[in-house]
Amino acid sequence: MTNEYISPLIERYASKEMSYVFSHDNKFGTWRKLWVALAKGEKEQGLNITDEQIRELEDNVDNIDYEAANRYEKELRHDVMAHVHAYGDQCPNAKAIIHLGATSAYVGDNTDVIVYTQGLLNVRKKLVNCIDKLSKFALEYKDLPTLGFTHFQPAQLTTVGKRASLWIQDLLMDLEELDFVLDTVKLRGVKGTTGTQASFMELFEGNHEKIQKLDEFIAKEMGFKASYAVTGQTYPRKFDSRVCNVLSSVAQSLYKFSNDMRLLQHLKEIEEPFEKKQIGSSAMAYKRNPMRAERIGALARYVVISALNPAITASTQWFERTLDDSANKRIAIPESFLAVDAILNICLNISEGMVVYDKVIKQRIEKELPFMATENIIMQGVKKGGDRQELHERIRIHSMEAGKMVKVEGKENDLIERIKGDPAFNLSEQDLENVLDASKYIGRAPEQVVELFENHIKPILEANADLLGEKGEVNV
């Protein structure tokens, strides 16, 4: 136990993998990799930097002296310069050329882009796995009729698998957005204090081509296609907003999924996994609360709201930069990533172990289907010689009486018995059984599931086969 506050996102919810992405080791190690890349690029463009100096920098990338850095920061009140000095103490031969020509945003902003990209790739891997697991579920239950709901009122039938396909389609849309952001991400590059590259003009004696090549070298060295063509002191804060909008989009989709799961669990049709010794309530021992789905909702709400932070920051930056972004983005963006990581883990866990109660589903259909089948019953009655208008009126009266039996008297729906006993319809028991076959009321639901999988999901899974196999673990 500790007396210090620890974020629940780290302690309870997010994976170690995502926690590492936003760790000090990853952040400050990336700063040092950027300083190595800068030294290499400047040497390549003719500055007096030796191979020995670069090797010294490379040998100490992971050898971060946090005590020295903290000591320097207390004295200098500047985190970047504190780490420059701590790195320099470990690399005495290269000390003079560390951070040469750069501003703090060179390491700070470029590292943020790199870290957010790592985070997005993590999200992408788990998102693809959620699509994979939910697709298996959708295909397994593509033919199982279930009562549809609009406004949470009984509507026409669908299938369990078709409903799951709605969850998957939302996630496919999220994947499209995420891939767009990843395909268009750019580094800040080497742009100087206000984005004009004035310091590099001094270093390279006004040689524009060398500065452009240095910018291109840094991007390539750090694994990116390009840097922004122009910046102020920072990369465009619109990028932060774009990143958090994608995270919000994933959260919205899983929030919808979690709400549906909670409703289905209330209906006793589908339940999330419930472990053998799991306790649903400290007082009510019989309870099986949907705690996983509820946790998705709680964390997703946090992410959706947090997306406002970078949106406001992007819209209130003054000229080339202002510092009211810094403290905010240190909190809002990492925690949004950690929360989305957590809800994806929970989604994986739920989708691996959903329990379907087909008899309950069938029972609910049987209570509502007679009302939905009335048009088909009329058509069958007409085929047996009945008058369409007369049958319509008789079925209206029977429906009202049956509805009264259900709602007022709390009895079973006896509409079919009433129709069976009405000679105007002239329908046998077999005729009515055929009309009440639930599979006749699901339209193209099974085919839609197959088409979605074959045309839209399967190509994604095949292209990302190396990412599949993630397990969803809920630790607490």
What residues act catalytically?
151, 281
The residue whose two tokens read 């952001």 is: 181
b/e code 29-67 from CB counts within 10 Å (16+ = b) = bbbbbbbbbbbbbbbebebebeeebbebbbebbeebeee
Tell me, rounded to whole angstroms, the distance of Cα 182 from its chain centroid.
14
Three-class SS state of 150: strand
The candidate with the shortest Cα–Cα distance to 329, out of 219, 233, 243, 226, is: 243
Widest distance between CA atoms in the chain:
104
The candidate with the shortest Cα–Cα distance to 332, out of 355, 303, 360, is: 303
**What residues are paired with 271 via a beta bridge?**
355
Count of residues for the chain? 476
φ and ψ at residue 146, rounded to 5 degrees? -150, 155
From the number of C-beta atoms within 10 Å of its C-beta (0-12, 13-18, 19+), residue 272 rates as buried
**What residues are paired with 333 via a beta bridge?**
none
Q: What is the CA radius of gyration of the chain?
A: 31
φ and ψ at residue 323, rounded to 5 degrees? -90, 5
